[in-house]
C-alpha cells in the first residue's frame, strides 16, 4: 500500500489493512461498527484496474499494489465532495434543528477546499424536514443516503425502523411505512444520530438552549446513571449555560459505544426546577406526623390498586405547581401541599438536630431502634460509608436497600448453588453462545443496550429462547417463545431438565467433577415429563422438548433473567432451577456460558458488594460470623459491632409498625413507592419517632420526615459504580449541585462526626482505597487503574487487563 509492504489477515479489506498500517483513507458511508456497503465511493483507491476500487469492501489480495492518494484518486474524491455539497442545505437554516458540529461531509469539504457557494447545481434536494420526534431532528435535504443510520438501527440496535422510500432524486430515508419519525416505532435510542455523517439526523436541544459546536463544549467522560448495564458515555457540557448540551456513547468493552433513550436523552432531571436545594425541618404545628399530600393520604383501596402506576402526573416542563390527577402514588408529590409543613434551615441546624434525635432514639431503644435504607443509585463510596455509619455509629446491622425487592432471591440461590451472588459471565458473552435463554425479563425496555447484544447475537446464529408470560418485544426477537402461565417457572424448567436428561444431553463429566446431588435432582424432575409440565405451565409439551434440545445440543448457553423470575414467592426456587439447568449441561465457566441475573439499578451490584445489606458486611462476609465481626471491628476501629443479622427492608417496616425501629435515616430510598404494601408503609413511617430523608426530590416518604436534606444527583459528584457485569467504573462530576444541595458522602460523614465517630475522608478516592482494603473481590482496583472503561472484578492484573476472562 502506497509503496509499503503490508501483511493483512485473510479476508481483511484494503481499508482495514491501510488503517492498521497507519494510512488514512477518507470514508462517508463506512463505519467500522457496521457491515461495509461501499455506496459512497469516497474511499476509492487505485488497485491498477480500469475502475477505482471501494477500499471498504474490496478484500486484500496477495501481491496487490494499492495507491490510496494519487492525484486522480484525490480528484475523484474532490468531485464527489463537490457533488454532495451542492445538494446540501445551508447550515443553520432552521434554528429548531441543532447541529453538534460533527459533520464529516463538511470536514471533507474543508479538506478539499470545497465551498457551498462553488456548487453548480441547485441547492438542496427539496425533500424537507421531519421534526416530529421529541429528541431527534431529521433534515432529509442533508441526507446523502449512505445508509449508516439504517445499519445502525438494524445491525446495532436491532430496532429495524429505518429504511428507504421513494425513487430517483426523491429517494429518502423512511421510518416504518414512511411515517413521521415521532409517529413511528422509533424508540429514540439516537443510534442513528450517532451514525449520521452529514447532520441529516441531529439531536434536538433538550433544555431549549441551542446546541453549540462540540469544540465549544466541555467533554466529561462518565457512565449512564440509569440501569445496571452501565453504558459508558460522554456528556458535552455548555459551561456558559451551566447545562448539559447532549450525551454521546463512549467506547467500553461492555456497551461498545451504544446508548438507549434514557442514557442519550434522559439526563435533564438533574436540572429540574423541582430539585430540593435547601435543608428543611418539619414545623412544630405539623405534628403529629402523617401523610401531607392528597396523593399520599389517598384511600387504602385506591393506593393498592394504583401501586403499579407510572403516571407521574407531571407536565413535561416539570412545573411544580402542576397538580396531579386522581390521587395516585408514583412519582413526585404535590410540592404545594407538602412544603408549607416544613421550614428552611441551615445545614448546621439540620445536622445537629439529626445527630441529637438519632442519638436520643438510640439511647432509649438501643441498636434495634435504629435502621437505615441506602440507595442502589448512589456510588459505591456512598453505599460503603452509609452502611459503616449505621453499623459503627448505632451498632446495628439494620441496613438494607432495594436489592431486597429485586434480586435478593437470585443472590440467595446463586450463593447456595455456585458460591457467589454475582453474574458468572458478561452480557456481551452471548456472542459466543450457541443458545441463550432470556426469562422473566423485559430486556428491550429495562436493559435496552444489553438487549441489543441479544438481538445481534441471534442475527449471527445464536438461538434465543424467550420465556415469559408477557409477549413483549423480546418475543419478536426469539427463535422459541414460551408463554408460560404466571408463577409456573419451576414446573417449566423441571420439564426442560427432564427432557435434557431423557435425551442424554447432560454433561456427565461436568456433573461428576463439579456438581453434587445430581441424583436427587434427577429424581425430582423425573416427575415432570413435558406433558405434565404442559398441564401446569400451558407451554406445549413439544415446545418444552424443543427448548431442551436447543439448550442441550448447543456448544454453550447463557441464561439471562430479571424480576419475572426473582419477584415471586418462589423466586429463590425459580433461580435454583436456572442454576441447575446450567450445571447439568456444564454451562458455567466457559466462553458463551453462564448465569446472568440482569441487575436493575445502575449500582445495585455495587451497593450489595459494599455491604448495604443486613446479613453481609462488605464483600458478602456474613454479619453473624464472629470471625468476620472481629475483622471489621479491627478494620474500622470499632467496638461492639452487632453480632447478629439485621432486619431487611420489609422487616424494618414491620418492626417500625410495632414500635421496634423508631429512628430511620433514608438516603435516596423511597419505600412508599417501592414497598409491596403501601398502607403498611404509610402507618409505619407515621409512627417513627424520627425520620431523616436525604434525596434530590420531595418524595412520598419525605412527607413523613422530620428533616429533609437536599442531596446531590449522579451528575454532581465523583464516585465508582459497579454494573451488572461486575464492571467497576468511574462516574465523574458533570455539574455543580444546585442551591445548598451537598454531595452525599460528605453529609453522611458530617452526621457520623456529630454522633461521635471520627471520620476524616477528604475524597471519594480515599473512601475507595479503604473499601478495597476490606473487599477482597475488589483487590488491585484503584482510581488510577480503572481508567476510562472500568475493570471487571475479580481482577488479578488490572494494570494489563480489564478482567474479562
Per CB under 6 A, residues contacting ligand SF4 are 224, 226-227, 229-231, 255, 259-260, 262-263, 447-449
Choice between 203 and 574, CB closer to ligand SF4: 203
Of residues 295, 233, 280, the one with CA closest to residue 259: 233
Question: What's the min distance (Å) between Cβ of 438 and ligand SF4?
Answer: 15
Of residues 540, 521, 502, the one with CA closest to residue 581: 521
Take residue 561 and report the three cell numbers written for it. Answer: 433473567
Question: What's the min distance (Å) between Cβ of 429 and ligand SF4?
Answer: 17
449 vs 257: CA distance, rounded Å: 10
Choice between 258 and 717, CB closer to ligand SF4: 258
Of residues 312, 199, 349, 234, the one with CA closest to residue 697: 312
Starting at the edge strand that comes first in sequence, how are the strands of the sheet with 463-467 ordered?
480-482, 463-467, 435-439, 557-561, 594-597
585 vs 404: CA distance, rounded Å: 30
25 vs 16: CA distance, rounded Å: 10
β-strand partners of 243: 238
Of residues 26, 29, 24, 16, the one with CA closest to residue 196: 29
Choice between 262 and 455, CB closer to ligand SF4: 262
Choice between 329 and 668, CB closer to ligand SF4: 668
Question: What's the min distance (Å) between Cβ of 382 and ligand SF4?
Answer: 19
Question: What's the min distance (Å) between Cβ of 596 and ligand SF4?
Answer: 15
**Which ranges in 470-594 belong to alpha helices (H)?**
473-476, 489-502, 508-514, 518-526, 530-537, 541-553, 563-566, 571-584
The Cα angle at residue 336 between residues 332 and 337, in degrees rounded to 5: 85
505 vs 507: CA distance, rounded Å: 7
Choice between 537 and 723, CB closer to ligand SF4: 723
Choice between 205 and 225, CB closer to ligand SF4: 225
3-state secondary structure of 178: coil
Starting at the edge strand that comes first in sequence, how are the strands of the sheet with 719-722 ordered?
719-722, 727-731, 791-792
Question: What's the min distance (Å) between Cβ of 157 and ligand SF4?
Answer: 11
Question: What's the min distance (Å) between Cβ of 419 and ligand SF4?
Answer: 28
**Is residue 150 within a helix (H) or strand (E), and if so which, with residue range?**
helix 148-151
Question: What's the min distance (Å) between Cβ of 473 and ligand SF4?
Answer: 14
Overall residue count recorded for the chain in this entry:
805
Question: What's the min distance (Å) between Cβ of 449 and ligand SF4?
Answer: 4
Question: What's the min distance (Å) between Cβ of 771 and ligand SF4?
Answer: 22
Choice between 282 and 599, CB closer to ligand SF4: 599
Residue nearest to ligand SF4 (CB): 263
Question: What's the min distance (Å) between Cβ of 264 and ligand SF4?
Answer: 7
β-strand partners of 465: 437, 480
Question: What's the min distance (Å) between Cβ of 601 and ligand SF4?
Answer: 10
Question: What's the min distance (Å) between Cβ of 223 and ligand SF4?
Answer: 7
Residue 386: φ, ψ to 5°: -65, -45
Question: What's the min distance (Å) between Cβ of 225 and ligand SF4?
Answer: 7
Place of cell 436491532: 158
End-to-end C-alpha distance for the chain, whole angstroms? 36
Choice between 138 and 229, CB closer to ligand SF4: 229
Choice between 255 and 749, CB closer to ligand SF4: 255
757 vs 330: CA distance, rounded Å: 37
Take residue 124 and report the three cell numbers written for it. Answer: 438542496
Q: Which residues contact 699 (CB under 8 A, 6 or more apart)?
A: 332, 333, 670, 672, 673, 693
β-strand partners of 372: 399, 665
DSSP per residue, 554-586: SS-EEEEE-HHHHSSTTHHHHHHHHHHHHHHTT
Query: Is the bond preceding residue 802 a cis peptide, omega within 30 degrees?
Result: no
Strands (E), 633-742: 663-667, 690-695, 707-710, 719-722, 727-731
Choice between 172 and 727, CB closer to ligand SF4: 727
Choice between 447 and 498, CB closer to ligand SF4: 447
Choice between 597 and 611, CB closer to ligand SF4: 597
Strands (E), 144-283: 162-165, 172-175, 201-203, 218-223, 232-238, 243-249, 280-282
Choice between 174 and 229, CB closer to ligand SF4: 229
The Cα angle at residue 416 between residues 414 and 422, in degrees rounded to 5: 25
Choice between 448 and 646, CB closer to ligand SF4: 448
Choice between 187 and 297, CB closer to ligand SF4: 187
DSSP per residue, 222-251: EE-SSBTT--EEEEEEETTTTEEEEEEE--
Choice between 212 and 258, CB closer to ligand SF4: 258
Choice between 406 and 435, CB closer to ligand SF4: 406
Strands 690-695 and 663-667, by their bridges, are: parallel
Choice between 199 and 600, CB closer to ligand SF4: 600
Are 85 and 105 in contact, with CB atoms under 8 Å apart? yes
Question: What's the min distance (Å) between Cβ of 368 and ligand SF4?
Answer: 38
Take residue 618 and report the three cell numbers written for it. Answer: 462488605
DSSP per residue, 391-427: IIIH----EE-GGGGTTHHHHHHHHHHHS-SS-SS-G
Question: What's the min distance (Å) between Cβ of 259 and ligand SF4?
Answer: 4
Question: What's the min distance (Å) between Cβ of 447 and ligand SF4?
Answer: 6
Question: What's the min distance (Å) between Cβ of 228 and ligand SF4?
Answer: 7
Give the other-Cβ count within 10 Å of 797's Cβ: 10
Question: What's the min distance (Å) between Cβ of 669 and ligand SF4?
Answer: 20
Amino acid at each position: 500500500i502506497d509503496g509499503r509492504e503490508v501483511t493483512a489477515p485473510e479476508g481483511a479489506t484494503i481499508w482495514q489493512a491501510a488503517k492498521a498500517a497507519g494510512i488514512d483513507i477518507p470514508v462517508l458511508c463506512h463505519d467500522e461498527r457496521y457491515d461495509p456497503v461501499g455506496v459512497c465511493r469516497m474511499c476509492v483507491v487505485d488497485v491498477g484496474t480500469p475502475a477505482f476500487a471501494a477500499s471498504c469492501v474490496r478484500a486484500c489480495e496477495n501481491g496487490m499494489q494499492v495507491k490510496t492518494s494519487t492525484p486522480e484518486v484525490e480528484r475523484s474524491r474532490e468531485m464527489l465532495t463537490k457533488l454532495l455539497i451542492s445538494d446540501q442545505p445551508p447550515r443553520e437554516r432552521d434554528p429548531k434543528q441543532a447541529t453538534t458540529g460533527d459533520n464529516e461531509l463538511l470536514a471533507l469539504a474543508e479538506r478539499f477546499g470545497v465551498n457551498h457557494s462553488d456548487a453548480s447545481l441547485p441547492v438542496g434536494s427539496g425533500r424537507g424536514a421531519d421534526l416530529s420526534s421529541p429528541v431527534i431532528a431529521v433534515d432529509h435535504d442533508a441526507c446523502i443516503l449512505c445508509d449508516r443510520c439504517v445499519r445502525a438501527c438494524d445491525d446495532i440496535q436491532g430496532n429495524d425502523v429505518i429504511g428507504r422510500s421513494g425513487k430517483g432524486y426523491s429517494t429518502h430515508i423512511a421510518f416504518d411505512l414512511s411515517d413521521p419519525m415521532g409517529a413511528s416505532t422509533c424508540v429514540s435510542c439516537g443510534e442513528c444520530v450517532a451514525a449520521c455523517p452529514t447532520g441529516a439526523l441531529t439531536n434536538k436541544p433538550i433544555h431549549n438552549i441551542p446546541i453549540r459546536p462540540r469544540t465549544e463544549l466541555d467533554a466529561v467522560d462518565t457512565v449512564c446513571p440509569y440501569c445496571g448495564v452501565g453504558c459508558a458515555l460522554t456528556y458535552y457540557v455548555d459551561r456558559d449555560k451551566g447545562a448539559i448540551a447532549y450525551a454521546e456513547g463512549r467506547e467500553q468493552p461492555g456497551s461498545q459505544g451504544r446508548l438507549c433513550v434514557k442514557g442519550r436523552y434522559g439526563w435533564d432531571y438533574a436540572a429540574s426546577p423541582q430539585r430540593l436545594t435547601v435543608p428543611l425541618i418539619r414545623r412544630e404545628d405539623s405534628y403529629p406526623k402523617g401523610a401531607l399530600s392528597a396523593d399520599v393520604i389517598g384511600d387504602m383501596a385506591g393506593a393498592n390498586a394504583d401501586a403499579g402506576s407510572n403516571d407521574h402526573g407531571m407536565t413535561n416542563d416539570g412545573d411544580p405547581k402542576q397538580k396531579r390527577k386522581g390521587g395516585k402514588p408514583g412519582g413526585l408529590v404535590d410540592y404545594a401541599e407538602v412544603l408549607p409543613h416544613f421550614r428552611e434551615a441551615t445545614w448546621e441546624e439540620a445536622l445537629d438536630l439529626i445527630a441529637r434525635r438519632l442519638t436520643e432514639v438510640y439511647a432509649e431503644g438501643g441498636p434495634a431502634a435504629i435502621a437505615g435504607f441506602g440507595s442502589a443509585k448512589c456510588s459505591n463510596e456512598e453505599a460503603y460509608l452509609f452502611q459503616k455509619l449505621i453499623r459503627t455509629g448505632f451498632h446495628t446491622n439494620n441496613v438494607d436497600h432495594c436489592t431486597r425487592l429485586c434480586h435478593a432471591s437470585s443472590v440467595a440461590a446463586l450463593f447456595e448453588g455456585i458460591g457467589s451472588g454475582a453474574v458468572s459471565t458478561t452480557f456481551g458473552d452471548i456472542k459466543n453462545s450457541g443458545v441463550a435463554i432470556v426469562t422473566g425479563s423485559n430486556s428491550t425496555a429495562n436493559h435496552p443496550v444489553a438487549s441489543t447484544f441479544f438481538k445481534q447475537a441471534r442475527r449471527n446464529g445464536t438461538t434465543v429462547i424467550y420465556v415469559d408470560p408477557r409477549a413483549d418485544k423480546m418475543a419478536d426477537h426469539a427463535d422459541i417463545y414460551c408463554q408460560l402461565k404466571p408463577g409456573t417457572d419451576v414446573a417449566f424448567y423441571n420439564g426442560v431438565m427432564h427432557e435434557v436428561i431423557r435425551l442424554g444431553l447432560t454433561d456427565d463429566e461436568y456433573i461428576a467433577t463439579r456438581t453434587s446431588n445430581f441424583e436427587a435432582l434427577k429424581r425430582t424432575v423425573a416427575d415432570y415429563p413435558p406433558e405434565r409440565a404442559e398441564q401446569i405451565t400451558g407451554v406445549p409439551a413439544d415446545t418444552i422438548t424443543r427448548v431442551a434440545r436447543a439448550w442441550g445440543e448447543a456448544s454453550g448457553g447463557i441464561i439471562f433473567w430479571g424480576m419475572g423470575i426473582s419477584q415471586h414467592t418462589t423466586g429463590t426456587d425459580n433461580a435454583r432451577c436456572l442454576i441447575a439447568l446450567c450445571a447439568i449441561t456444564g454451562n458455567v465457566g466457559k466462553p458463551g456460558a453462564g448465569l446472568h441475573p440482569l441487575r436493575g439499578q445502575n449500582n445495585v451490584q455495587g451497593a450489595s458488594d459494599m455491604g448495604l445489606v443486613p446479613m453481609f458486611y462488605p464483600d458478602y462476609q456474613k454479619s453473624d460470623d464472629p470471625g468476620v465481626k472481629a475483622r471489621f471491628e479491627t478494620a474500622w476501629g470499632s467496638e461492639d459491632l452487632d453480632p447478629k443479622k439485621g432486619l431487611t427492608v420489609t422487616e424494618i417496616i414491620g418492626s417500625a409498625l410495632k414500635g421496634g425501629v423508631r429512628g430511620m435515616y433514608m438516603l435516596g430510598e423511597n419505600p412508599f413507592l417501592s414497598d409491596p404494601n403501601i398502607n403498611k408503609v404509610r402507618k409505619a413511617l407515621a409512627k417513627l419517632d424520627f425520620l431523616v430523608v436525604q434525596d434530590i426530590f420531595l418524595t412520598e416518604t419525605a412527607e413523613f420526615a422530620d428533616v429533609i436534606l437536599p442531596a446531590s444527583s449522579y451528575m454532581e459528584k465523583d464516585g465508582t459504580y459497579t454494573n451488572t457485569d461486575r464492571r467497576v467504573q468511574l462516574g465523574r462530576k458533570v455539574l455543580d449541585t444546585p442551591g445548598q444541595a451537598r454531595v452525599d458522602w460528605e453529609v453522611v460523614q458530617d452526621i457520623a462526626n456529630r454522633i461521635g465517630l471520627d471520620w476524616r475522608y477528604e475524597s471519594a478516592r480515599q473512601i475507595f482505597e479503604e473499601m478495597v482494603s476490606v473487599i477482597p473481590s475488589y483487590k488491585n482496583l484503584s482510581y488510577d487503574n480503572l481508567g476510562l472503561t472500568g475493570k471487571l472484578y475479580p481482577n488479578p492484573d488490572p494494570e494489563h487487563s480489564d478482567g474479562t476472562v
